[in-house]
Structure 1
Amino acid sequence: MVATPPLRSLQRAQIRGVGTVFLRLRPLLVAPAVLTSWVLLWPNAARSQSLAVTAVSGSLLAFFAIEAAIARRREVDERWLLRSLVVTLLGLLVAAFGSGALASPYVPLLFAPAVTAFAAFGRSRASAMMFALLVAGVLALAAVPEGVPFPPLSTDLRRAMVAVTIVLCAALLRVSVAGLSDAHAEAGAALDRLRAELLAGASERAVAVESIGAKVA
């Protein structure tokens, strides 16, 4: 179903509001998971691998914190949200490459920016681009030989980190997708109220015109 122009305008306004809240909250959700992953990683993985993954995840966390600080001063628009989700997906692909490729505990997190984009942008070109980027990234990870560029993580370490990333992914999607779902519902309800008000106003004007016509007659 194609959204009507008034409904689309309302939905875009709601997306901006939800996107702003999401970017403000994201570092608060991500920081505990990142710190936990570091605590798990450093004693149990090679030093060079721990350093590389820490650098990537730390850079992403810093990026999220800067975005959150800016988002507290102004509203996030759709382009900003899309750029942020693309950068996030690319950063997570790099983190996955350095921690086991397709077997990386960071792979579940790839769904957080991708699904958020699907929920925000529907079947638009932006959503299709995110889908293509996700598919290309997963195929690239699948082509990485085992042990490149670092040895595989131990089973126990990977299991613990997967638990952390799945919980984080669920928390992020709860904020973004649930918020967008509520926003779309509110936009539809607002449009219904607007239509009802327009119909009521038209009815009142018709009654007034009939009353004037009766008096003239």
Structure 2
Amino acid sequence: MKISIITLFPKMISGFFEESIVKRAIEKKLVEIEIINLRDFAIDDYGTVDDRPYGGGAGMVLRIEPLYKAVQFAISNFKFLISKKTPNSKKPISKTVLTSPKGKIFNQKKAQEYSRLDNLIIIAGHYEDVDARVLDYVDEEISIGDFILTGGEIPASAIVDSVVRLIPRVLKKDQATKNESFNINEKKILEYPQYTRPEEFMGKKVPEILLK
């Protein structure tokens, strides 16, 4: 699988993928992470990628031209990976999403859906908003909750982490993803409480049933 993230602030994201499970998945070549700097597609030599909104209002809006060019660049570098579920497909199975507080709430079901893609493009919004015309090139808008952040880099990183761990062979045991909270293959219940050593701490004991 290949995941491309379009962002104005690559350093906010790059460090996140240099540790833990995502790093190991990259090293195993189970996933490729591409961070695309939106400013590389600026409209001028000054690196301009935003402008004032028509109709007035506070803040700046990301322009359509750099966004469009960045998305097309990501598409041009798609990996031709035929999905096992669609062996007759003539092109990679892909999706382009925009992080936005106006989007659908991201959940485990969506993470499972994305983990089966060949390519995923995530546009990390920033500033006041993005030019709405970019939605013509986006499959869906995604939010990670009903709160406001300074940009889409944190949501993008959260989405990547959630998706990558579901890719086959990323975790040592597939059972690790089957038995955890919000697994969509089972009833929507929280995972049972977990305990480890010591058996007793300050009078609090591990439940007897787990010690058998």
Normalised to the residue count of structure 2, the TM-score between the two structures is: 0.30
User: In terms of Rg, which structure is larger?
Assistant: 1
Q: Work out which structure has the larger RCO, using CA pairs closer than 8 Å and 6 or more positions apart in sequence.
A: 1
